[in-house]
Structure 1
Amino acid sequence: MDIKVEELKERLDKGEALNFYDVREEHEYEEDNLGATLIPLAELPDHLDELEPLKDEEIIIHCRSGARSGKAQAFLESRGFTNVRNVIGGILAYRELEEEA
């Protein structure tokens, strides 16, 4: 199940504790980030042990536009994760939403 940037922004603004991950590359993260934990998509398989305790909890994943996070979502679901949410439109849509506000 995906998550819209409006819902994500609302939850971040409330200071809600989220299992929130960014699957972009390090240089992209350094330029702009939303405070998510960085795990580049190519490194995701190496982090399964640390993510294992979250298997049945909500995990929110984002990237630049939603494509890489969609791949990360599919990968985690194939490994038995039950509640992985892809941010539709990624950080681009999130920043666009902020500009409109």
Structure 2
Amino acid sequence: MTTANDTTFTPAALQHLIKTGQAPRLLDVRTPGEFQTSHIPGACNVPLDTLREHRMELGRHLDENVVLVCRSGARATQAEEALADAGLPNLRVLDGGMMAWEASGAPAIRGPQRWELERQVRLIAGSVVLVSGVVGFFVPGVHLIGTAIGAGLTFAALSNTCAMGMMLSKLPYNRGPRTDIHTVITSLRDRS
């Protein structure tokens, strides 16, 4: 089995396991809206916030044969840390997330298309910076709004978190159907 390191699976390694009938449990930790847009067949959607909140309960229904999936790997790594705190060490993260999965040509279930959170963040942040820069020519001090957005984006990169992304994920457009933890646990029990 080819992995990028001890805690990640490459898309090719995961595809191989799925094709040979040895598929691990796949937990997709993106928002329900992102999950609806595109996900790996057989994946179970457990948004990161829900996973953190119910990690002990989820941990009782999981073993180490789990691969965590998100858009690029960052949220899946955070989910791995949360589940490790719940007593599940040695979980795996899909290296490069859904971006790498889809880039490798692997199968995905597609639903209604919507903009990814990262793209939405770039639109909002860029628009605020642009507008505050233009208005700053006429109203002194408004340019500082763009400076604050730049500081927030810098912090987001350094901390690997994004407050704007978290806020945008709460919008109805991004939420999709609400994740019911009892349905998730029933699904996990059924797949064991």
User: Which range, TM-score by smaller chain?
Assistant: 0.7 to 0.9
TM (norm. structure 2) is: 0.47
Larger radius of gyration: 2
Instruction: Map 1:1-101 to 2 at 5 A.
Output: 1-35=7-41, 36-48=43-55, 49-55=57-63, 57-98=64-105
**1:70-99 deviation line (CA, Å, top 9, x unaligned):** 100111112210221011100100111117
1:34 maps to a residue whose letter is I
Gap runs ≥5 in structure 1: none
By how many angstroms is 1:45 displaced? 2.7
Share of identical aligned residues, percent? 29
What is the CA–CA distance in structure 2 between the aligned matches of 1:7 and 1:43, rounded to whole Å?
27
Aligned residue pairs total: 98
Q: Distance in 2 between matches of 1:63 and 1:19?
A: 14
Gaps of at least 5 residues in structure 2 are 1-6, 107-192
CA gap of 1:42–1:16, structure 2 versus 1, over 3 A, is same
